[in-house]
Structure 1
């Protein structure tokens, strides 16, 4: 009897052992089986291949032998049989992005082949983000080499694209517009509210995107897509996640991140938390002495004192903290319906506006401000989306996206040896509803159409505090309290494949905008009681993507964009620069942009890929800050100072044109080279016919990357370069800020050229554990990117460690 039982046990164990040799290879995103995956050991003496169901017999391999999984469409993956067993005998592979076959969503809000799009679009995927390991999402954009980023302070980052910035660019997170009614023409830092650890990919549209995104999308659109919860492809609950840590020496950064995913077949949840701690930023050793922070203000024994900085390269104060939280739920009862809920939260500590703290006083003997800091920047978004796919008379897909956002920001300033601190606090509540349809059944015509409604309400308060007595009294608010901005729009976009190698894309959108603001004359005797603006805008685009040969792509696109005046344009009261104050102007109209661009892409035998684009944009009725009469007065008192009066006006037109070049060379399987070059020129002409350089036209910038990689290691030695902007090419508004610029031989401010040499690497220690090591600005250059207040980091050692489970 015992021998029979023993034989039975041996049989069962042997059967289990044989069964355990069969594994399943699945697509990490869809859960579908992957066919024809090549499986082999290091010596390639043992091989296997997955079948139609993704099944593969790996019994030929030993338990701890390194096994490689390879497919032309997927990232190479290496593991052991023991590790596969611990993961339930399943392997999940990530798709490898291929430029021409890549799917993008930013142009229509539905999946389209990138090769069919006539506009220039750049995608930054999760693998690239993990490798560059950025501190903020502003750095994520800058690391791409395609976007120029300005920083007024460490807690900042204002992208510039094709000569436009701030409220002429549109930010979108998971398809929801982030721009609100108080996005300003000055530099904004809202992009840092997006946690780079949660970004799955970013798509950047270059040029107007108003047909889909409406107002503000004049220079481009930056669409951030965060990670989606992942379903389980088994009957049991699956749990996975990541933990990361990063350190940077230039500002003693300490960052910790953790995320976890719970998945069943029909529902899944994703949670993410990140904490950043940044100390004061240290600049480089070699560069203009004007950038050094020789003195700063301290309050000692109740008195403001100008003190010597022990380390003039340390930018005191510039550090801050930040927390980010993301919670997502998804429910998919069947293949037709999908329900997604996302909750996003970001909050910073107080952080100094560094460029205001280095501004000298009127006689140049000291500093103008004792304090100038932003209160916590807070952002919350709740986003609920319902997607239905399936055949219908009018659509093949419909998507309803509703979102609520709350923004909070504040400004606090106090002049040197003045006990009064002026504070303004702004809160914006934003509601949005988008209904988007996809129809792909009309022969070779694919239609995208939909409607959008947006509502913003702005609450703004002002106060002044005597820091000696703690007495608080009301003062003028920055914006009209309780003002509203809303818009309703409809659009249609069509993609027509005229021939297999020729695709035509065209679209139209009409937007109606309402602005209502009531002005309180408690602190200022406004010559008007309200701003009641109703305006409309029609925008369109047409372009084509043509492959005259399989290895050559030609694109051309013409488009229009617009920006409707918002609450910041119409109702703001603030000090724009020393001795000037901006006041409300209710008599504004939208500004319009007309753009044309041509793109070329040539592939030389998959060894060299060359890409180029040239464009020209004409902006009319441009909303710009100019001198103004306020109730007949050219000067008024603001925050205790007699100031020149200015206002936002439709008082200019602008011409922006440029060239963008990219190259990718593949020498061997391990060695490659990539480079980017962007040249932009821009002229702004006011109503009097006077020309000046456009403010947000970036200098020539370029990068060159020499990359070596294998299955476990990736290393990148690269050079970043920025060209000079001479005094005569500086915008007039920039000439009025000489304290952030170097001084030329004639004593005038200018932005010098600069370069940095850098090294970046990532090592996959195990399938679960990875490390990154970067050394930025190896030669310790002291440089300040154009229009920035804070000086860039000196030599910066960045260490990172990540663990996946």
Structure 2
């Protein structure tokens, strides 16, 4: 008996000693909105010791040896989190552990291409998706510059506040811009490159979707070269009943080349039914310094040494968005956006010496919209989305030729009322998308003359556009997605569009263009077909045939005033719509280690609209130096090219990436190149990234563009003989400082190369040191 007692005492002693050397770790795993995450695998890899969280997000690791350990938290839908050197001695409660949602590239989705949420690999058309984290890592100054590293997207800048996208050789009002699915384009958008893309605050964007190629069937006029949809951030609702919660963040950006100082503050309050988010941005840009080395002597004409002066300006942005969830299937979104840019100089006018004053003043945009969504899921209608929007865009120009000449102050205001309705239905293997959109523009335009001392003198008979002009558009569309097999899908679509405009050109005894009241209408029937075939597990083949059109707008029909370069534009009410038929084919690969995209396209354009020589009061010039031009149907043309990209992953997120785009355009009527087509351009880069930091080094480049139209040759922004080739080397370093703070240091144009992107009115920045941060609450 004594022997057994001693043995029991020994076992108990050993057990107690062993237990004294181990401990326990517990806690809860939540998402960024405070919701518990079940099935998170919590593990100490070295010990092969783990546990999965329960429905409340709780985990409990027992028998953890005394000492320091590394613990990982992993879930397929969230970024893996690692806690290093966690000291364990007895019981330890980690409290709440927050995981960030993971963007899984394999399951990337797009809305714009089909008006429905689809996996990108299931969409036949070529496209670009730029997520919020990519926008942050690119550390771009504007929403336009956030796109300049994308395949097939070339960004032209008339001034430091500008940023106009060119897709497949087409730009300006031949590209459709959307913000949250609502048309940004209006009837005064000019054919020359512009700055409207930058009026959407890049700090407020959730993602940017770019569809390359015509999308007129779904969106109507202007969508010849493609469509860019800027989707702004919206607050998320909690998944279960809860009291209101709060989140916020502050970010900033500072750059050396233009002494930029920008900042944004944003906050959100939300529960499971109601969410509200609002943000405010302030932006201050100084005069931009160009590069010092290389380049071409024709690009060394800046007004103040390397400083391109004046190019600086200030801007503010404000946005607010509210979501209310009536039921599980019904919700409304009420949103407002304000963008104001102050005294934005058009630098090329100063550099050429044609003006002592040329600024955009004002440059404002105000948008308010209400969306209603209902996932009906009944026999006839699966989904319904309706919206009403009201947008005001104000653009003014203040110009003065010499210090003693008069100051001209122009102001154009376009008020746009919009209604859209979209429905989806299922029938067997068919998925239908159908609806209508209606937009009505009311345009106010004026021109006032002031003395050199800024004393009011008089008001001209008309402004840049006829005052009190109307422009209406209506379209009805139907799209049918037919899934023949799990691997083969066809999308058929058709659309009828109608446009109506009315304006009066007032009588002017000094001019011969007294056209009186003009009423015009245009209509078009377009169709498209797309094919997508999954040739292998991660290989997708696609082809598309699509029609597109652009109805002449007020800028084409009735504009009177200065235009690009040293030209003066007069009205022409005899225009016909531009029409296009486009063919493209390509493939996408989406392997775990390798992703690629290639598209070859050919587009034939008839009744192409462009600027051609004209006469005003019997003369081909004004003041013997300014050429008179008007918009004209200058004939037929074709555009062809190739767009390609790749990304190869070495380990984790570390990857080699690149893209290349080439476009060739020829006007077969005038036997000259299509104007404004960019040269071959692309980039090549290497990115290392882990949970803590990232290093991104890359080169951007473009070849020389000397294929110029006669209109290009009249553009003072393009050097004689064409735009020289260029390249820049760039570096970005990013660091996560815990869960709530991210910092980034970048160097653009490390070699300080002096260059200009084709068609731009300002050189690119010289060596530019950029510091940015984001702090979350």
Q: Same fold (TM over 0.5)?
A: yes
Equivalent residue for 2:137, pick from 131, 140, 149: 131
Equivalent residue for 1:718, pick from 692, 698, 701: 698
- Give the structure 1 partner of residue 322 of structure 2: 329
The question of 1:23 aligning with 2:25 is answered no
Within a 5 Å distance, the mapping from 1:471-490 to structure 2 comes to 471-475=456-460, 476-490=462-476
In 1, the alpha carbon distance for the partners of 2:254 and 2:566 equals 41
Give the CA deviation at 1:575.
2.5
State the number of aligned residues: 744
| Structure 1 pair 670–619 and aligned structure 2 pair: CA distance change class (3 A) | closer
Q: Over residues 484-517 of structure 1, what are the superposed CA-to-partner deviations in whole Å (9 max), with x where a residue is unaligned?
A: 1111111011111111011111111111110111
The question of 1:434 aligning with 2:420 is answered yes
The question of 1:292 aligning with 2:300 is answered yes
| Structure 1 pair 512–719 and aligned structure 2 pair: CA distance change class (3 A) | same
Within a 5 Å distance, the mapping from 1:134-283 to structure 2 comes to 134-233=140-239, 234-283=241-290
In 2, the alpha carbon distance for the partners of 1:414 and 1:502 equals 61
Give the CA deviation at 1:48.
2.5
Q: Over residues 234-290 of structure 1, what are the superposed CA-to-partner deviations in whole Å (9 max), with x where a residue is unaligned?
A: 512110111111111110111111111100110000011111100000011113233
Q: Over residues 685-734 of structure 1, what are the superposed CA-to-partner deviations in whole Å (9 max), with x where a residue is unaligned?
A: 4xxx32221122111001011011111111111011111112xx122222
User: SS where residue 376 of structure 1 aligns?
Assistant: strand
The question of whether the paired residues in 2 share the 8 Å contact of 1:27 and 1:34 is answered with no
- Give the structure 1 partner of residue 651 of structure 2: 668
The question of 1:445 aligning with 2:453 is answered no
Q: Provide structure 2 residue ranges, at least 5 long, that are not aligned to the other structure.
A: 1-22
| Structure 1 pair 27–116 and aligned structure 2 pair: CA distance change class (3 A) | farther
Give the CA deviation at 1:144.
2.9
The question of whether the paired residues in 2 share the 8 Å contact of 1:351 and 1:375 is answered with yes
| Structure 1 pair 79–533 and aligned structure 2 pair: CA distance change class (3 A) | farther
- Give the structure 2 partner of residue 543 of structure 1: 530
In 2, the alpha carbon distance for the partners of 1:23 and 1:353 equals 56
The question of whether the paired residues in 1 share the 8 Å contact of 2:205 and 2:230 is answered with yes
Q: Over residues 752-781 of structure 1, what are the superposed CA-to-partner deviations in whole Å (9 max), with x where a residue is unaligned?
A: 111111101210011101100111111110
User: SS where residue 766 of structure 2 aligns?
Assistant: coil
> Aligned-pair RMSD on alpha carbons?
2.6
In 1, the alpha carbon distance for the partners of 2:551 and 2:772 equals 43
The question of whether the paired residues in 1 share the 8 Å contact of 2:35 and 2:238 is answered with no
Give the CA deviation at 1:652.
1.8
The question of 1:619 aligning with 2:623 is answered no
The question of whether the paired residues in 1 share the 8 Å contact of 2:237 and 2:271 is answered with yes
In 2, the alpha carbon distance for the partners of 1:260 and 1:504 equals 43
The question of 1:512 aligning with 2:484 is answered no
| Structure 1 pair 408–41 and aligned structure 2 pair: CA distance change class (3 A) | farther
The question of 1:459 aligning with 2:431 is answered no
User: What is the TM-score when the length of structure 2 is the normalising length?
Assistant: 0.91
Moved more, 584-593 or 422-431: 584-593
Within a 5 Å distance, the mapping from 1:611-650 to structure 2 comes to 611-629=597-615, 633-635=618-620, 637=622, 644-650=627-633
- Give the structure 1 partner of residue 661 of structure 2: 678
Q: Provide structure 1 residue ranges, at least 5 long, that are not aligned to the other structure.
A: 1-17, 296-308, 360-366, 743-747
- Give the structure 2 partner of residue 405 of structure 1: 391
User: SS where residue 143 of structure 1 aligns?
Assistant: coil
In 1, the alpha carbon distance for the partners of 2:299 and 2:354 equals 17
| Structure 1 pair 766–519 and aligned structure 2 pair: CA distance change class (3 A) | same
Moved more, 771-780 or 90-99: 90-99
In 1, the alpha carbon distance for the partners of 2:192 and 2:93 equals 54
- Give the structure 1 partner of residue 17 of structure 2: none
Within a 5 Å distance, the mapping from 1:349-428 to structure 2 comes to 349-359=342-352, 367-428=353-414
Equivalent residue for 1:768, pick from 719, 722, 740: 740
Within a 5 Å distance, the mapping from 1:72-151 to structure 2 comes to 72-78=76-82, 89=96, 91=98, 93-99=100-106, 101-151=107-157
- Give the structure 2 partner of residue 745 of structure 1: none
In 1, the alpha carbon distance for the partners of 2:136 and 2:70 equals 24
The question of whether the paired residues in 2 share the 8 Å contact of 1:204 and 1:220 is answered with yes
In 1, the alpha carbon distance for the partners of 2:450 and 2:459 equals 9
In 2, the alpha carbon distance for the partners of 1:642 and 1:130 equals 46
Give the CA deviation at 1:27.
8.2
User: What is the TM-score when the length of structure 1 is the normalising length?
Assistant: 0.88
The question of whether the paired residues in 1 share the 8 Å contact of 2:434 and 2:478 is answered with yes
Give the CA deviation at 1:68.
3.5
The question of whether the paired residues in 2 share the 8 Å contact of 1:396 and 1:438 is answered with yes
The question of whether the paired residues in 2 share the 8 Å contact of 1:36 and 1:50 is answered with yes
